C-alpha cells in the first residue's frame, strides 16, 4: 500500500528565504508525482507535475525534483513571499485507475 | 474551457438527512474521481468513475455512500443518513481519456459538508 509522507508538517520563514519542502513515498512504481497548493477553505491548485521518467520540473520560482528510486521529491521555493503562505500537498499516481495518494501536507507561513 | 465545477460549495445537513454533491468534469474529460478531506487529515481517494461505470470504489465507505456518473449530466456523490463524522470537504477531480495514465489531475473547489 502506497504511503506518502511530507516533512515538515509546518514551516514558518521570513520573507525572501529560499525553502525546501520534502515528500517521500513508499512504493517507487509511480506514474507521476504532482505538487498542489491549498489555501484555507479553498480547492487544490496544481503547481507542478513530474512524470516518472523526469528528474525535475520548474515553474517560475518553483522547482520540483523527483528521485523515484529512493522514493523522494522536493519542492524548492525561491525568494519566498507572504502570498506563498498555504498548505502544500504532494500526491503520487500509481497503479491502475489514475487515482492519487496524497501526503498530509506542509503548512507554510511566510512572514513579513 | 471551464474547470471542474462542483456544487454546492457549502452544504449543511442535519443528522439523518441525505447529502447530494455534484461534479461536472472539465470539457472533454470522461473520468471523475472523488476525494474526501476530513478535518486535520489529508485527502483520501473514495471512488473513480467513467460515464455510466464505477471503475474503482475501494475508498468508499461500505454503507450510506454511493456515486454515479450518468451518460448525461454531472457526477453525483450521495450520502444517505448523514452523521457528524461525514463533515468534511469533498473534492472532485477529472482527467481525460483512458490510457493516458501520466496526465495531470484537475480539481474542483470542493463541497464543504457540515452535519449538524
Within 8 A of B112 by CB-CB distance, chain A residues are 41
Provide residues of B within 8 Å CB-CB of chain A.
Answer: 31, 33, 35, 41-45, 48, 55-56, 59, 91, 93, 95, 101-110, 112
Among A residues 31-60, those touching chain B with beta carbons less than 8 Å apart: 31-32, 34, 36, 41-44, 46, 49, 51-52
CA-based nearest residue to B19, from B86, B75, B107, B108: B86
Overall average pLDDT of the A4-16 stretch: 95
Pairs across A and B, CB distance < 8 A: 63
Note the pLDDT tens digit of each residue in B38-65: 987 889 999 999 989 999 999 999 999 9
Strands (E) in chain B, as ranges, are: 5-7, 10-13, 19-24, 31-37, 43-50, 53-56, 65-68, 75-79, 88-95, 106-107, 111-115
Three cell numbers, residue A26: 513508499
Is residue A31 packed enough to be buried (19+ CB in 10 Å), middle (13-18) or exposed (0-12)?
A: middle
* Mean pLDDT (10-residue bins), chain B, 116 residues: 88 98 92 91 91 92 95 96 96 76 80 97
What's phi and psi for A108, nearest 5 deg?
A: -105, 135
| Neighbour tally for A52: CB within 10 Å | 17
> Is A98 within 8 Å of B103 when comparing Cβ atoms?
yes
Q: Which chain B residues have a beta carbon less than 8 Å from that of A51?
A: 102
Return the residue of B nearest to A32 by Cα.
B102
For residue A1, what pLDDT is reported? 85
Amino acid at each position: 500500500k502506497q504511503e506518502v509522507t511530507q516533512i515538515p508538517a509546518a514551516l514558518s520563514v521570513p520573507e525572501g528565504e529560499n525553502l525546501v519542502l520534502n515528500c517521500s513515498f513508499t512504493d517507487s512504481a509511480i506514474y507521476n508525482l504532482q505538487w498542489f497548493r491549498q489555501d484555507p477553505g479553498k480547492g487544490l491548485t496544481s503547481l507542478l507535475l513530474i512524470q516518472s521518467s523526469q528528474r525535475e520540473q520548474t515553474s517560475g520560482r518553483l522547482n520540483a525534483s523527483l528521485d523515484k528510486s529512493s522514493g523522494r521529491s522536493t519542492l524548492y521555493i525561491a525568494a519566498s513571499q507572504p502570498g506563498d503562505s498555504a498548505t502544500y500537498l504532494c500526491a503520487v499516481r500509481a497503479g491502475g485507475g489514475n487515482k492519487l495518494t496524497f501526503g498530509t501536507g506542509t503548512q507554510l507561513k511566510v512572514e513579513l | 474551457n471551464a474547470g471542474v465545477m462542483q456544487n454546492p460549495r457549502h452544504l449543511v445537513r442535519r443528522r439523518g438527512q441525505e447529502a447530494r454533491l455534484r461534479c461536472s468534469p472539465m470539457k472533454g474529460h470522461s473520468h471523475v474521481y472523488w476525494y474526501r478531506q476530513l478535518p486535520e487529515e489529508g485527502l483520501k481517494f473514495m471512488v473513480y468513475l467513467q460515464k455510466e461505470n464505477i471503475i474503482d470504489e475501494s475508498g468508499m465507505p461500505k454503507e450510506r455512500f454511493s456515486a454515479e456518473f450518468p451518460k448525461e449530466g454531472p457526477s453525483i456523490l450521495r450520502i444517505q443518513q448523514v452523521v457528524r463524522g461525514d463533515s468534511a470537504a469533498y473534492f472532485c477531480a477529472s482527467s481525460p481519456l483512458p490510457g493516458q495514465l501520466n496526465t495531470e489531475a484537475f480539481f474542483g473547489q470542493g463541497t464543504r459538508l457540515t452535519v449538524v
